[in-house]
Amino acid sequence: MSRRSTTTMAAVALVCAVTVLAAPCAAYAAPTPTPSPSTTPKNKDLEAVRAKIDKLYHDAAVATDEYNAAEEKAEKQSDAIVKLAQKIADGQDRLDRLKSSAGAVAREQYRSGGIPRETQFLLSGNPQQFLDNAGRMYQGQQATKNLLSQLADTQDELARYADDASAKWKELDAGAKDKAAAKKKIERQIEEAQTLESTLEKKERERLRKLEEQAEQQAQTAWLSSGVLKEINGRATPAGKKAVQFATAQLGKPYVWGAEGPKSYDCSGLTSQAWAAAGHGIPRTSQEQWKQLKRIDIEDMRPGDLIIYHDDASHVGMYIGDGAIIHAPRPGRTVTVAGAGSMAILGVVRPDA
């Protein structure tokens, strides 16, 4: 049994003992006063508060993934716009050169009265010169034709690049709106959760925290009781060790939604940066990590693998062995070690498969 479990059980036992000793004897007890609205809520009331706070933070986590996805998409769109702008600039230079060449051809025809020099040679009456310059005339015609074709192709290419850039700008603008909407949703839900917590007295907040720990411990105990840990014997790869070392070095740093270090992290910011440090770029969000990375059985799990939580893949932690993960839990918490089964597991993915 862990030290935390022992401490929690001792605390619960102490609370129960105090409750029994403090209970009035039926024969001599004074009339029990009617509870007022400010009376300390019962555990079932606090449990309802805890459930509501958990839901608010869960919804904020979903919105955080939406925000991170919009941000990642905006970065890709911005890069695409920059590349398109460079292509347009290069294409414009090429178009200017082609126009200059076409102008030179036009000026040459003007100087020769509209008759190319090769044609003048053909009309010179010299048979040998006629034969020699017939090929030159054909080559000149082909060159002019190719020049005009290149000019038209370049103009079409520039028009396509301009249309693509315009479309990317529209997508970027739409993404900015999605990002702003997600930000408002996150801030609203976090503020509501924090407001709800702030209405509790200090002792109530402490009890609430213990209820959270008990729920996590119960889930972890149930997970371990399934015997799954006996089947997990995987050893970390060199890259997996680096990822775990990076994540371990972030312990104690605060959770901040949308953050990916170095001073703070959200859940997927931590895992994506850990694997980037290990030399493997992975998707930024937990939902994309779930979609894009290779899925493996829990029994085959090894340190460095990522455990995805909840049906909507809204949370992620890094498995570090011995049934534990490192993760950035939620606002108001820090990067910490927790039981791998302390939340509802959706599945496991492997970044270095």
Active-site residue, selected from the candidate residues 16, 25, 58, 315: 315
What's the rounded Cα separation, in Å, for the pair 19 and 14?
A: 8
Active-site residue, selected from the candidate residues 16, 280, 310, 327: 327
315 catalytically annotated: yes
Q: Output the CA torsion 307→240→280→311 (10° steps).
A: 0
Report the pLDDT value the prediction gives residue 107, as an integer from 0 to 100.
61
Tokens 């905006």 -> residue: 74
Report the pLDDT value the prediction gives residue 101, as an integer from 0 to 100.
67
What's the rounded Cα separation, in Å, for the pair 55 and 72?
A: 26
Prior bond to 37 cis, omega within 30?
no
Report the pLDDT value the prediction gives residue 251, as an integer from 0 to 100.
95
Report the pLDDT value the prediction gives residue 211, as an integer from 0 to 100.
86
Report the pLDDT value the prediction gives residue 48, as an integer from 0 to 100.
87
Q: Which of 325, 210, 235, 353 shows the shortest CA–CA distance to 343? A: 325
For residue 70, what are the contacts with CB-CB under 8 A and spacing of at least 6?
175, 176, 178, 179, 182
Active-site residue, selected from the candidate residues 16, 25, 58, 267: 267
Q: What are the residue ranges in the chain where pLDDT is below 50?
A: 1-40, 113-115, 122, 131, 134
